[in-house]
Chain A
Amino acid sequence: MSVATATTSRSPAAPAAGGRGRHGGRKDRGAQWGGIGFVSPAAIIVALLLYAPFLYTVVLSFTEYDGLNSPQWIGVDNFTRFFDDPALITSVRNTLMWVVGTTVVPVGLGLLVALLSFGVRGGTWLRLPFMLPYALSGAGLGVIWGFILQSGGAANDVLGALGLPGAHTSFLLEEPWNTLSMIVAWTWQQTGVNALLFLVGLQSIPKEPLEAARMDGATGWRLFRHVTWPLLAPLTTVVVGLSLVASLKTFDIVWVMTQGGPGRNSETLAVTMYRDAFVAGEYGYGSAVAMVLTLTTGAITLAYLRRQVRAREELS
Chain B
Amino acid sequence: MIRRGVLGFLGALWLVPVYLLLVNAFRPSTDFEVSKIWVPDTEIGFFDNVKLAWDAAGLGPSLASTLLYSVASPAIAVVLGAMAGYAIVVLRLRAGFWWFMLLFGGTIFPTQMLLIPLFLGYSSADLYDRRAGLLLVYTAVCVPLAAFVMRNFFTGIAYSIYEAARVDGASVWRIFWRVYLPLAVPALGAVLILEFAFVWNDLLFGLTLSQTDTVRPVMTALSSLSSAYSGSTVPVVLAAGLVMSLPTVLVFLGAQRIFARGLALGQF
A residues sitting closer than 8 Å to B (CB atoms) are 1, 3-8, 10-12, 14-20, 22-23, 26, 28, 30-32, 34-39, 41-43, 45-54, 56-57, 60, 67, 112-113, 116-117, 120, 122, 126-140, 142-148, 150, 152-154, 157, 188, 191, 193, 196-197, 200, 248-249, 251-252, 255-256, 259, 269-270, 273-274, 277-278, 283, 286-287, 289-291, 293-294, 297
| A19 to B265 alpha-carbon distance, docked (Å) | 23
Do residues A154 and B176 form an inter-chain contact, with CB atoms below 8 A? no
Within 8 A of A (CB), among B93-134: 93-97, 99-100, 102-121
B47 within 8 Å of A (CB atoms)? no
Known: A293-B110, A294-B112. A135 touches B120 (CB 8 A): no
| A122 to B207 alpha-carbon distance, docked (Å) | 42
Do residues B103 and A42 form an inter-chain contact, with CB atoms below 8 A? yes
Do residues B113 and A129 form an inter-chain contact, with CB atoms below 8 A? no
Known: A137-B203, A249-B112. A57 touches B88 (CB 8 A): no
Closest partner residue, chain B, to A10 (CB atom): B266
B17 within 8 Å of A (CB atoms)? yes
Do residues A38 and B145 form an inter-chain contact, with CB atoms below 8 A? no
Q: List 9 A-B contacts (CB under 8 A).
A: A7-B265, A23-B92, A43-B99, A129-B18, A130-B14, A135-B248, A139-B219, A255-B203, A290-B113
| A3 to B251 alpha-carbon distance, docked (Å) | 16
Do residues A4 and B7 form an inter-chain contact, with CB atoms below 8 A? no
Closest 8 CB pairs of A and B: A18-B96, A137-B201, A11-B266, A135-B252, A49-B140, A38-B87, A35-B93, A53-B117
Residues of the A chain whose Cβ atoms lie less than 8 Å from the Cβ of B202: 137
Do residues B117 and A56 form an inter-chain contact, with CB atoms below 8 A? yes
| A196 to B86 alpha-carbon distance, docked (Å) | 32
Do residues A3 and B91 form an inter-chain contact, with CB atoms below 8 A? no
B253 within 8 Å of A (CB atoms)? yes
**13 further interface pairs, Cβ-Cβ under 8 Å (given A18-B93, A132-B18):** A1-B145, A18-B94, A49-B118, A128-B11, A129-B12, A136-B249, A154-B37, A191-B14, A193-B263, A270-B110, A273-B115, A287-B116, A290-B115
Dominant secondary structure at the A interface: helix
B75 within 8 Å of A (CB atoms)? no
Known: A6-B263, A53-B118, A140-B222. A45 touches B91 (CB 8 A): no
Do residues A18 and B265 form an inter-chain contact, with CB atoms below 8 A? no
Give the distance to chain A from B97, nearest Cβ to Cβ, in Å: 4
Do residues A36 and B87 form an inter-chain contact, with CB atoms below 8 A? yes
Give the distance to chain A from B35, nearest Cβ to Cβ, in Å: 8
Give the distance to chain B from A40, nearest Cβ to Cβ, in Å: 9
Do residues A17 and B100 form an inter-chain contact, with CB atoms below 8 A? yes
| A142 to B207 alpha-carbon distance, docked (Å) | 15
| A17 to B154 alpha-carbon distance, docked (Å) | 10
Residues of the A chain whose Cβ atoms lie less than 8 Å from the Cβ of B4: 116, 120, 122, 126
Residues of the B chain whose Cβ atoms lie less than 8 Å from the Cβ of A249: 110-112
Interface string of B190-226 (1 = CB under 8 A from A): 0000100110111110011000000000011011001
| A7 to B191 alpha-carbon distance, docked (Å) | 13
| A143 to B18 alpha-carbon distance, docked (Å) | 12
Do residues B265 and A3 form an inter-chain contact, with CB atoms below 8 A? yes
| A36 to B118 alpha-carbon distance, docked (Å) | 27
B179 within 8 Å of A (CB atoms)? no
Do residues B222 and A42 form an inter-chain contact, with CB atoms below 8 A? no
Do residues B120 and A1 form an inter-chain contact, with CB atoms below 8 A? no
Selected contact of B116 from candidates A143, A191, A200, A286, CB within 8 Å: A286
B26 within 8 Å of A (CB atoms)? no
Within 8 A of A (CB), among B60-109: 80-81, 83-84, 86-89, 91-97, 99-100, 102-109
Residues of the A chain whose Cβ atoms lie less than 8 Å from the Cβ of B80: 41-42, 45
Known: A3-B263, A6-B263. A270 touches B97 (CB 8 A): no
B187 within 8 Å of A (CB atoms)? no
B10 within 8 Å of A (CB atoms)? yes
| A26 to B84 alpha-carbon distance, docked (Å) | 20
Give the distance to chain A from B249, nearest Cβ to Cβ, in Å: 4
| A283 to B200 alpha-carbon distance, docked (Å) | 27
Do residues A19 and B203 form an inter-chain contact, with CB atoms below 8 A? no
Within 8 A of A (CB), among B239-268: 240-241, 244-245, 248-249, 251-253, 256, 259-260, 262-266
| A274 to B203 alpha-carbon distance, docked (Å) | 12
Residues of the A chain whose Cβ atoms lie less than 8 Å from the Cβ of B148: 4, 7
| A295 to B111 alpha-carbon distance, docked (Å) | 13
Q: B3, B109, B176, B241: which has the most chain A beta carbons within 10 Å?
A: B241
Residues of the B chain whose Cβ atoms lie less than 8 Å from the Cβ of A129: 10-12, 14-15, 18
Do residues B238 and A120 form an inter-chain contact, with CB atoms below 8 A? no
B136 within 8 Å of A (CB atoms)? yes
Give the distance to chain A from B54, nearest Cβ to Cβ, in Å: 16
Residues of the A chain whose Cβ atoms lie less than 8 Å from the Cβ of B100: 14, 17
Do residues A53 and B8 form an inter-chain contact, with CB atoms below 8 A? no
Do residues B226 and A142 form an inter-chain contact, with CB atoms below 8 A? yes
Give the distance to chain B from A225, nearest Cβ to Cβ, in Å: 17
B183 within 8 Å of A (CB atoms)? no
Closest partner residue, chain A, to B6 (CB atom): A116
Residues of the A chain whose Cβ atoms lie less than 8 Å from the Cβ of B208: 274, 278
Known: A1-B141, A153-B37. A135 touches B197 (CB 8 A): yes
Do residues A57 and B114 form an inter-chain contact, with CB atoms below 8 A? yes
